[in-house]
Structures are given as C-alpha cells and as structure tokens.
Amino acid sequence: MDLNVVWFILIAILWVGYLVLEGFDFGVGILLPVLGRDDRERRAIINTIGPVWDGNEVWLIVAGGATFAAFPEWYATLFSGFYLALLLILLALIVRGVCFEFRSKRPEPEWRSRWDMALFGGSLVPAVLWGVAFANIVRGVPLDADHEFTGTLLTLLNPFALLGGLTTLALFVTHGAVFLALKTRGEIRDRANAAAGRVGLGAAALAVIFLGWTQALRGDPPSLLLSVLAAAALVGGLLANRAGREGWAFAGTALAIGLTVVALFVALFPDVMPSTTDPANSLNIVNAASTPYTLTIMSVVAVIFAPLVLLYQGWTYWVFRHRIGVEQIPEEGSPEPPAVGTVPGVAGGDAG
C-alpha cells in the first residue's frame, strides 16, 4: 500500500484513540459540578481520571507530530487557518492540567470551587472546538492556489461546524457519564447512569443530523455504512446503560465516537483539506505529503515504538481498573489510606 495512504490511516487511528480516550476525560470534567454534590464526591469523580488523563493526551501530541512529519502542508495550513481555535484548545488543556495539580493544594471551599469551575471550562472548550475543527476540515475551507487559508474566524463558525461542536460535546458528556458509572459506586454511579440516559438521547439526535449532513456534503457508501454503525453503537450503549451494564455501555459509546471519526476521515479521503474556493486548490494525500524517504523512516519508528506505548498505557488502565467510592475518600485532614486499585506514591491516586 502507498505510504501516503498508510499514514493517512495511521493519523485517523491516532485521532480515534485521542477522541475516544480524552472524550471521557472531557465528559467527566464537564459533569464534575453537576454530579459531585460535595467535596468528597468531587474528589472521587476526579480520581476516576486522575491516573490516566495525561496519558490520554499523549495521543494528541503524537497525532499532531505525525501530521507535521507526514503531511507538512496540511499541518501548516491547518495551524495557520485554525490558529485561534487551536490556541483556545491549547489554553484550555493547560488549564485542565493545572486544575489537577492545584485543586488539592488548599482546603478552602472557595479555592476548590474555583478550580472545579476551571476544570469544567477547560473540558467544555475543547469538547466543542474539536467538533468545530473537524467539521470544517470535512466541509472544506477557502484556500488559494498556494494552499493558504483566506477566510476569517466567522468562516469557521458556520452552521455545519457549530452542529459538529454540539455533537462532540453531547457525545463526550454521554461517554464521560458512562465512564463514571463504570468507575464509581453508590450515589455517584446512580446519578451518572441517569445523566448518560438523558444526555445520550440528545447526543443520538445530534449525531444522526450531523452525520446525515456530512453525507449530503461529501458522503459515499463506505462513510454512510460507518455512520449507520456509529449510530447503532450509540443506541446499543444507551440500552446497555439503561440495563446497568456499564462495561457494554462504555464499549458502545467508545465505538460510536471511534466510528464517527473514521466516517469523517473516509468521507474526507483522498483530500486532507478541501478548498471551497476551487477544488484544484485542495490539499490531498499527495500534494500535502512528505517525501517517500521521510515516510519510510517514520514507518520504521512507528513499528518499533507504537507497541511499547500501547502496552504501557494498557498496563496503566489495568492497574487503576477498580471502582472508586466516596468511602475511599477521607475527610479533610484525616489520614488517607491508599484507594483500591491505586499504587501508593503514584501521582493521580488522589488528584482531587
């Protein structure tokens, strides 16, 4: 297979990994002030993602680096045209990281409440803007003959892109609620199950409209099939959640997000950045790609190191696989025993 196609597929896989894993992180952050009724409950909620959130963001770093190395023209046009949106995402991700580190530094309720709201905002902004960005990539943006973006911020805030942002927001909140139901016990679990059911209905409706609109713009039979499978996976996940089968529910929402991303990449192929000004100005997997030598070296590196990274991240999820309850979160100022499924001394055992 042509290496240009191989790296297009690999970048799609990296984005699937990132949006599936970071998607429930965003959902948990957004739901924190909604499902956490007091400080101990909010600490328990944060602890569900405390050991894994930074590892999930590695997928974004690798996806960006792979795009830069494999398709430098795509990377340059994307980051220049979408500069403000991507800057806002970066700032939001920085705020999220700071929240995890600083929330527990002081015991005052006001201090922790501010960081909780910062975590909410730092999760909400990228959850929306990633959908806006991907919708614009699939729809196309105005490019000139030199592949330079000629639009404005308002160009990116078109109805299709805004719908994409609402769709990813609803999907991530549903995914996060299902993850919380899978990782917690007691009242938090019950609230998370109920939230997943309520938000999931809206997510399903938005996803159907968004994917249907995508098919009208750039669809083909393979992307249509993937869209149908994504909708079926989401419905299956919601039914499993209603039956209290959180593992199957999480698999369903994860599969729904993953298949949605794959459907968008299939609809995009062989372009990587369509031009709405003139189709001849579009970037594709040929005119945006690096040299064959560069792609060959990248392929060798990926074959060697990708399995090691996957094994390490899989080990992390296995170590922190147990449910968390409020009873494992000590009262402020009391001695803190290690929680079930945590490794004493490892950062993230109590991120709250």
| Cβ atoms of 149 and 81 closer than 8 Å | yes
Distance CA 285, CA 244 (A): 44
| Cβ atoms of 219 and 144 closer than 8 Å | no
| Cβ atoms of 300 and 24 closer than 8 Å | no
Using a 10 angstrom Cβ sphere, with 0-12 exposed, 13-18 middle and 19 or more buried, the burial of residue 19 is buried
Tens of pLDDT along the chain (352 residues) come to 599 999 999 999 999 999 999 999 999 999 999 999 888 999 999 999 988 998 899 999 999 999 999 999 999 999 999 999 999 999 999 999 999 889 888 888 899 999 999 999 999 999 999 999 999 999 999 999 999 999 888 899 999 999 999 999 999 999 999 999 999 998 999 999 999 999 999 999 999 999 999 999 988 899 999 999 999 999 999 999 999 899 999 999 999 999 999 999 999 999 999 999 999 999 999 999 999 999 999 999 999 988 998 998 899 899 988 898 888 777 765 444 444 444 333 334 444 4
Distance CA 176, CA 126 (A): 14
| pTM, entire model | 0.90
